[in-house]
Structure formats: C-alpha cells, structure tokens
Structure 1
C-alpha cells in the first residue's frame, strides 16, 4: 500500500532559519526520483535548489511562489512505496526512513553541503475542531465526524488531480456552492464553523492587518481556496469611491485600515538578500565606531602596467585583481586592519590569512562574495576567482560559504561613476577599502602640470582596532603602490 511522506524545508546551514519559495520545479501529480530538486528557494545568503529525499508521486505542495517558510515547515508530500505486484513494501517509520522490518524510503541527503544528513521526521499537526451541533453530528454520522477530526490544519497550495487516489492526500472534502466572482465580498464561506481555506499564511496576515474577515469572501481557487488576488480585490473594492458601484463592498462588510498606515505608497518587505543586508548594516552602525580617511592617487602607472601585462599574452588581468594584490600587500604590513572584534570577550582577533570580500551589485541586491586565501594568489588567480564569483552572483548560484568568512572588503564603487564614498564596514570585519572611478584630471607630475589618470581611495575602519596613524599608513601604502606599482616587488 502506498504511504504519504511529508518533506519539510531542511536546515540550510549558516544559521539560516527561513527561506522564500522562488520557483516550484515539480507539479502535483509528477513522479519524482530520490534526490531530485523539487523547489528553488532564496535565503538571506543565496538561491539554492532543494532536493527531495523521497521517490514517488507528488500529492501536495505547500506555499505559493513568494511565500516565506521557516525551516521545518512542510514543502511537499510524496506518495511512496506503491506496490507493482502483490508484494507490499515494509512499513515505514514516522520519519520516512523505514520501520523495523523495512528499508529506508529516502536517501537522507536532503541538501548536500547545507548541514543536513537525515530525512526530517514527519509530524502531523492537527487543529482542534470546534464541536458541531447535535443536528449536524446526527446528519453527518460517525464516519464523517472521524474524517473531520483528522483533517490537517494547513491548506495546500495545490491539490492532487483526479487521477491520484484520494487516499493519498490529506485534502478536505470539496465545499459546496456555485462559483462566484473572484474576491466576492458578502458571500460567507460554507464551512462557517471551521478553518477558512487560505492559500498561504501571508494571505491570512494580509487580511488580518487590513481588518478583512475572510469568512465574508468566496475564494476563486480550487475547492474555494482563497487566493491573494481575492483579498486584494476585496481591499480595492472597500477603498473605491462611493460612486463606483461595481467596486463598492457590500453594506454589511467593514474593512478597517491599518492604524497609522500611510494612505499612499506601497510597502516592500525587507526579506531575502535585501533584508539580510539591512540587518547587517544596522548592526555595523550600532556596534562599530567607524572613521574614514581618503587620499587622491595618480593611477597612470598602474594602468600602464596592466596594459603591458595584457599585451604580453595569456589570461587578461583585471584592475580589481591588481587592487586586491595591493590590498593583501598592505595588510601584510598593517595586520591590525585584518582583524575582528569579539565584543563578548573584549578581544581583538587578528587573522593570519586574508579572505578578501568584494562588493558586487546584482539583480537580487548587494552581495559580498569572498575570495579565500587571497594573500596566496597571484594576479591571474585573483582575476579568475573574481570572474567566477561575479558570474555566480549574477546567476544567483552563490552558496552561503561563498558569502561568509571575509576578513577585509574591497569596494570598487567607481564602477557606478562616483569619485568617493564613506561605506559602512562589513560586520564583523574591521575595515573596507573604497576605490572611486579613474578619470583624467590635471595633476602636478614631476614639477609640471599634466593630465593624469587620478583615483580617489578611501579607508573606513573600526577605530577600536587601530588609531588614525595605522589607518593612514595603510592607505598611504596603497596609494604608493597605485602610483608606483614597482613598490609591490618588495612583497612578491
């Protein structure tokens, strides 16, 4: 006999507690193999595909695209172990890994590299059912009452098509009633004494925050499921002018606006990468007493040196790689800036390696990929690693490991056409070097006025790890290397 197993959102590692559904990779009724990716989710670190540890038929999906789910929340249910002959499979335990007499049904490799090694245990949450009236109990009978008592407390985004046996799902019986216009107000839900079927918790919260009674809506989704569009249509109708009869809500429906909410504008949730950036920058501002110093430098010789390197053949060397090589040389001379502050222990942790982060703007927001052991790489190696991480960032393939563990950050904001900036230190690091655009400017060179390629360099640093003399010495050494690349020969 087939058994329905529930696959929950696994632990994604790096302290992540939630993820947003970006794209479903399977439909209800699809046959999936063990370890086949079933959904693409976005965390505060990266976008990843989540493989399912079970093989079988997808019977339900939980959450629409754009919904945020906590770790441990149900993702899909899968019917496994459907016998092809008279031989039935051994019983499976509650975790879906086989009972005492049967083998495991899943691989256990829920998300390789993200901290999981076993399939999650299946726990069914049952919402207490309000007692029915004696008349209704007598009419429904013991069988119907037992089915209502075991109905799940959650509403699935999708239901199993007619071809899949009803016994493989936890779906409630179809509600009665003729179809009505999406988001219609004033038609009470048929199950007035039970939970209202809503497509996601976000839709329920949207209605609650706007004082909308979901029981006054009739959903346009399958089996009367209330969709987000239904709630938004009802809210728009309540806010329409009095003269607009078609958009005006029913007289007995009252929609209360959120107290203190603005009458215009739209709200954009701080979640995913944007939310993680906001949290990190806020923490940096709260904890780090930062200061900034800057200097203009003549980058003409650096640009000539790069042109000569690329003219000699072989892989092209990027300007960012040369700046990174200068950073690692300066950090070797001023190691105070390659450190972090342990506030609980009241200690400065000084690192003997340079994991160099670099700020990169992507469609998903600002990310800071990290080049591991940048101090041990040459210009060609740095160029290749920068290119790899940049491409992965644009494609949304950066892993949490690619975005954590940095000890110093290089911020090339000159690509945006600006000369200077006072960036916020990338917590928990102690400093960040900023590089403005390189542009022709009048400059005194060898006692004469000339047009030179000039760049503004800035250093924002944690004043707890060093004083202005150290920070100024670091920045001056960087400027000297930019103006005279031969200075780097001392550290090669």
Structure 2
C-alpha cells in the first residue's frame, strides 16, 4: 500500500517568498530517496537544490522549468511505500474497492484535487514515517536528524485512492490524464518509447497494465489490441475521454500598448535583478544618505603590499588591505557599524563587523559577506574574498553567505571609474567606495611628483551620525592608505 504525500516549496528564509524552477532533477515515475535533491531553484539570493523529505515514487510535478512559484506552493507528490510488488497487486485489489467511473477520473484536475492534496500533506506531517526525514533546510542539505515525534498508525490508502492521485499526472508531456497506476508501467513505456496515450488498457475501467505495454513493445505498434478474453464490442470502442490529447487553445493576441514601438524589449524584474531593485528602492525611500570623498596617495600602500607578497606565503589582495583598514576605522567610529530600528526609533550598534563587498557576476550584482572580518588577518581576508568571489561567479553562494552584513566595501575602481555615490546596502548604515588607482601629479614632501592616487568615498546614513563622524572615519582610512604604518597603532 502507498500513501501519496505532497511536498511543497519550503520556506527559504531571509524574507524570500518565491523561487524560480531552473531544472528538475527527477521525472515522474522516478524512485527518490529521503533527502534526495529533486529540483534546482533560483531565489533572489542564490541558486540552490531543494531536497525532498520523503522517499518513494514521484507521481506528479508542478511547474515547468522557468516557472516562478511562491513559498508553500506544491512542488511534487510522492507515493510513499510504493513498490513493484504493490503495483503488480493493485489490479487484483481493484474489485474490492469502489473506484469512480472513468469519466469522473478523467475530469480530475490539480485544482479539483487540492483538498485531497492538503489532506495528504496534513497526514504526512502528523505521521513520522520511516520514508520521511522532516527536514527541508534549503541550501544547506537536510542531513540533520528530525525532532522525535510520535509514531501514529494510519490506515493505508486503497488502490483506488492511489489510482485517482496518479491518474492526474500527464505522461510524455501531454495535456490530459492517463489511466495508469504503476510507476513500473510508466517507466517501461518511457524506456521503450511507447506513448501511453495511444493504448487502450485491459484493466478495470480501462487501466493500462504492464501486459498492455509489453504487447505494444513486442508488436512494434503504439495501439494495443483488446485484452485476451474480453468480449468483442459490437461497434468501434469509444476512447476514454482522457486518452485523446487535449488541444491547447491558441493564445489570445496581446494588444500592443499605444506607446509600444518596434524593437522594444521588456525584461522581467525578478530573481537577483528583482531583489536588487527592491532593496535599492527601499534604501532610497528609508535612508537619508549623504556622501563625502577624499583623494589619497596610495603609493605607500601598494609598496607595502608588494613587500608582503615578496616575503612568501599566501598572496595578499589589495581589497583585503582596504578591509583591514576599514575594520580598524570602524573600531574608532562604531556609529557606522550599526543599523536603525525605525519602529523603536533606536540606533542599534553592532559588536561584530561582517563585511560585505559588491561583486559583479553573470547573474547580476551580489554582495557576499565576510563573517567576523574584524578578527581576521590580511591573509585570512584574502582567502575569504577569493572563495566568496568564485562562489558568486559560479552561482553557488548560499543565502547565509549573502545576508547579515554590517558594512560594505564597493571597489568600483575595477570598472575604470574614479568615484561614485553608491546606494547604501539596506539595512546597513554606510558603504566605502574605492575608485581606480592611477598615476597623477601630487605634491609629495614639498615637491611635485607622480604618485598613485585613489579617490575614496563614504556614503552614510545621516541618522546614525553627523558629518564630523563620517569625515573622521574617512580621514582615518585615507591616512592608513597614505601611511600604512598608522594602522600598526591599532593592532
């Protein structure tokens, strides 16, 4: 006996309310193990694999690749406890059940079966079956043991219940239901290229059995003959309502807006692009920001980096040195390592520095976060920047690696620009921008010389501090850039 359980898109955390299906990892009829990844989805934070907490046979999938689903929407259904032996015995048990007429089963739709799915889902959550782990933590696996729960014995579903649930699933990409119960039958047909919609089942109410598929395979045809021993009909048999593929209605033409012009392209604001748009809009609406900037002579900082890398060991990235300078500056000016609780009208100063850095990837702008940056050395910061940058490019950053920042570095100098007034990464209070480092004429020790000059800008939330604090922070950063020995005083 099998129970058909529904697995819904789980809560993705961090305020995420929807996800886009990128790639299905299983097909209808596949046998899945507990906690096996079944679908790859893209959220506004990252691309993750979603594991299914049930073990059994996949009986239905909801949503095509590219479809965006809200949290709580059905992803797939799994027949828990289904086996080949149970499938083979299903037709023999059919006389003891009271199946619905064929026309009734053919009319079942996912919308009409929603109460049944909800009931199955409630039953799954109430029972602690061995085929379900109860863990659905997205992005981090589901290996952690589930909480101990009472084991409740429930009456198994009848064969007619399983048939009703499984008969809804389209096969081979068709539009209507097919009268087939056994996953083994579906798999056998799929492996041999047999279209189940073209078969007339010999089982009760037109149920397609394994022998029907095997007969079609041996005869090399897609239409099976009447079952042996079945009375010959006086007239041509009327096909099942579900056996003919439904003709999809032609899409209605979309009326062009009066302002539409040839060549205009519309790009949906969703996924990473949509999340960035929402966050920047909220930042502009809520944060009264201001920007100050200063030019600094980075010649000595570059020389110090060259000397450090020449000494051997791990290479030190330039952004790691700026990060080290920032954490020292935040220790002197903790107002900028804070957030504003608007509801309580309070400024919340944070003890740890979780340093975000803007990274441009093929999927858009992402801001990975280096945890506890204030406690890391330059070598440790370099390694973590490199790891997170590579993860961002490959799309494997987890939601936890993209959230929780308290201050952000924005190295827009890599794009060949000198300065910028960036939008603060809400709900943080400040962002340091680093322009390109270029040779410029500079007065050094009373003489005009060519020096390596960088423009630094600080965008800050004017609610957390005044211009004096922001200027003091930026001046300290510039002093450390011009004379790295200044940093030694804070170590």
- Relative to the length of structure 1, the TM-score reads 0.72
Aligned partner of residue 105 in structure 1, secondary structure: coil
Q: What residue is the counterpart of 2:215 in the other structure? A: none
Q: What residue is the counterpart of 1:72 in the other structure? A: 72
Deviations, residues 439-471 of structure 1 (Å, cap 9, x unaligned): 111111111111111100000011111111111
Q: What residue is the counterpart of 2:309 in the other structure? A: 310
How many pairs align?
A: 389
The separation in 1 between residues aligned to 2:270 and 2:411, in whole angstroms, is 25
Cα distance change, pair 149–457 in 1 and its aligned pair in 2 (3 A): closer
Does 2:58 align with 1:43? no
Counting only pairs closer than 5 Å after superposition, residues 42-191 of structure 1 correspond to structure 2 as: 42-83=42-83, 85=85, 94-95=121-122, 97=124, 103-111=129-137, 158=173, 165-166=180-181
The separation in 2 between residues aligned to 1:163 and 1:157, in whole angstroms, is 10
The separation in 2 between residues aligned to 1:378 and 1:111, in whole angstroms, is 32
Deviations, residues 283-342 of structure 1 (Å, cap 9, x unaligned): 111111111111111100000000100010110010010000000011111111111111
Cα distance change, pair 277–256 in 1 and its aligned pair in 2 (3 A): closer
Residues 171 and 177 in structure 2, CA contact (< 8 A), matched pair in contact too: no
Aligned partner of residue 339 in structure 2, secondary structure: strand
The separation in 2 between residues aligned to 1:80 and 1:405, in whole angstroms, is 39
Cα distance change, pair 13–314 in 1 and its aligned pair in 2 (3 A): same
Counting only pairs closer than 5 Å after superposition, residues 17-36 of structure 1 correspond to structure 2 as: 17-36=17-36
Does 2:365 align with 1:394? no
CA RMSD of aligned residues (A): 3.6
Q: Which moved more, 1:312-321 or 1:10-19?
A: 10-19
Cα distance, 1:148 vs structure 2: 10
Residues 433 and 459 in structure 1, CA contact (< 8 A), matched pair in contact too: yes
Aligned partner of residue 404 in structure 2, secondary structure: coil
Q: Which moved more, 1:61-70 or 1:300-309?
A: 61-70
Q: What residue is the counterpart of 1:446 in the other structure? A: 445
Deviations, residues 221-270 of structure 1 (Å, cap 9, x unaligned): x934649xx64xxx7xxxxxxxxxxxxxxxxxxx4515556234121111
Aligned partner of residue 327 in structure 1, secondary structure: helix
Aligned partner of residue 294 in structure 2, secondary structure: strand
Deviations, residues 172-212 of structure 1 (Å, cap 9, x unaligned): x969xxxxxxxxxxxxxxxxxxxxxxxxxxxxxxxxxxxxx
Aligned partner of residue 274 in structure 1, secondary structure: helix
The separation in 2 between residues aligned to 1:481 and 1:98, in whole angstroms, is 58
Residues 28 and 160 in structure 1, CA contact (< 8 A), matched pair in contact too: no
When Rg is computed on C-alpha atoms for both structures, the one with the higher figure is 2
Counting only pairs closer than 5 Å after superposition, residues 330-369 of structure 1 correspond to structure 2 as: 330-369=329-368
Residues 59 and 159 in structure 1, CA contact (< 8 A), matched pair in contact too: no
Aligned partner of residue 293 in structure 1, secondary structure: strand
Structure 2 residues not aligned, in runs of 5+: 90-118, 148-162, 187-195, 199-243
Does 2:427 align with 1:428? yes
The separation in 2 between residues aligned to 1:166 and 1:160, in whole angstroms, is 17
Cα distance change, pair 482–149 in 1 and its aligned pair in 2 (3 A): closer
Aligned partner of residue 49 in structure 1, secondary structure: strand
Q: What residue is the counterpart of 1:476 in the other structure? A: 475
The separation in 2 between residues aligned to 1:338 and 1:416, in whole angstroms, is 27
The separation in 2 between residues aligned to 1:410 and 1:168, in whole angstroms, is 54
- Relative to the length of structure 2, the TM-score reads 0.72
Residue 262 (structure 1) aligned to one of 256, 260, 263 = 260
Q: What residue is the counterpart of 2:92 in the other structure? A: none
Cα distance change, pair 348–94 in 1 and its aligned pair in 2 (3 A): closer
Deviations, residues 104-137 of structure 1 (Å, cap 9, x unaligned): 431212235779969xxxxxxxxxxxxxxxxxxx
Cα distance change, pair 75–380 in 1 and its aligned pair in 2 (3 A): same
